[in-house]
Amino acid sequence: MNPASDLIKKHFSEYYRRKGAEAPKDMEKREFGFGNDKKIDYRHYSFKVEDELKNYLVNNAPLYASFSSAYYEYPSAQPMTKKNILGADLIFEFDAECKHNNLACPECLEKAKRDTIRLIEDFLVPDFGFDKKDISVSFSGSRGYHVYVVNDAVKQLSGEARRQLVDYLQAKNLDVKSIIRRGATLSSKGWSGRLAKAAYEHVKSSDQKKFAEKEDVLKKMSEGNYDLFMGAHSFWDKTLNEQVIHLSSAIDQSVTIDLSRLIRLPSTLHGGSSLLCQYVDNLDKYNPFSDAVVFYNPPMKIKLTKDVSELVLREETFGPFIHGQETSLPEYAALYLICKEAALPA
Ligand SMILES: [Zn+2]
């Protein structure tokens, strides 16, 4: 557990007292789980009304709060089979694995955001035919974004059907050759069209000798003749790698496939960052390092417990700091470093 968890909980409790929390859709059918040490230390909770949830958060101030994508007849029943599942929202998770040694890495979160937008614009809407009004996105409060598809048809998808959606996004078992041979064109739907466009653009932007009769080749391609690309394995490998949705880790995929998973509850604070997990309306303009920062400005004294490179919160730059350094920072920046286990109250 975070050695400063008492201080964090005090601030979280005050936050929930002021702001409350938002009940998810059909709250009384959802299972809730909470954690201080791990993401989930306790689960099988349920709440009937928003105030009950708020009171729980004010009184217990858990560092992590999650809810089920599934709807249950008896959400607090144990074991899981006694809950009687009624359906589940379809969820996708994008987490940024930061390798930049940056405690507030805009680059990695920006990448997660681009992946999120690509999932929606390139797959969920055109290929799966989901309605944009049924799709929402939240910032997880830490390293990434969640995408939710909520409607009655999706609710009934089995775990196996969800696995097939994930396989499709990742182009698993996609037979490129037979797609091309069957005459994919620029206007084909789904992967056929995506592959056709990639090859077409490749020729169009190329000045290599083998495309000397470029106009001719492009014309053929637009008619669905991709003979030139039949054996171009490395080109297709590269194209697929660029275009699949990388739900890289097994954990990210299980969020989509495993109906019993709990996911971070929007409107709650993330104990590993002090940032707010929240629904995002305009993903393009969203900046988690400003928009999800909820604490205040009064100075708080901290002592660094590791070296920390420069970080930007609310468009203000802090640090770099060195291990052992004592400093005074606005509460929101101090809490961020404390939640990241990079500092302790001094
Ligand atoms: Zn990074």
Convert the pLDDT of each residue in 248-274 to its tens digit.
665 577 888 889 999 999 999 999 999
Ligand 1 midpoint to CA 95 (Å):
11
Taking residues 48-69, report their average pLDDT. 98
Ligand 1 midpoint to CA 195 (Å):
30
pTM of the model: 0.91
Taking residues 171-177, report their average pLDDT. 87
pLDDT for 152: 94
Ligand 1 midpoint to CA 102 (Å):
6
Query: What are the tens digits of pLDDT across the range 183-235?
Result: 788 888 999 999 889 988 888 888 766 666 788 888 888 888 888 888 888 88
Ligand 1 midpoint to CA 319 (Å):
17
Query: What are the tens digits of pLDDT across the range 285-317?
Result: 999 999 999 999 999 999 999 999 999 999 999
> The sheet that has 90-95: what strands, in order across it?
90-95, 144-149, 135-139, 278-279
Share of the chain above pLDDT 90, in %: 70
Ligand 1 midpoint to CA 110 (Å):
9
Distances (CA, A) of 91 to 124, 235, 284: 11, 32, 20
Q: Which residues surround ligand 1, an ion (CB under 5 A)?
A: 98, 100, 105, 108
Ligand 1 midpoint to CA 343 (Å):
20
Ligand 1 midpoint to CA 74 (Å):
41
Ligand 1 midpoint to CA 135 (Å):
27
Q: Mean pLDDT over all residues of the chain?
A: 92
Least confident piece of the model among 113-127, 154-168, 246-260, 296-310: 246-260
E strand spans, the chain: 32-35, 42-45, 64-68, 70-72, 85-88, 90-95, 135-139, 144-149, 262-264, 278-279, 299-304, 311-313, 316-318, 326-330, 343-345
pLDDT for 204: 85
Ligand 1 midpoint to CA 273 (Å):
15
Binned at pLDDT 50, 70 and 90, residue 15 comes out as very high
- Residue 96 above 90 pLDDT? no
Ligand 1 midpoint to CA 83 (Å):
40
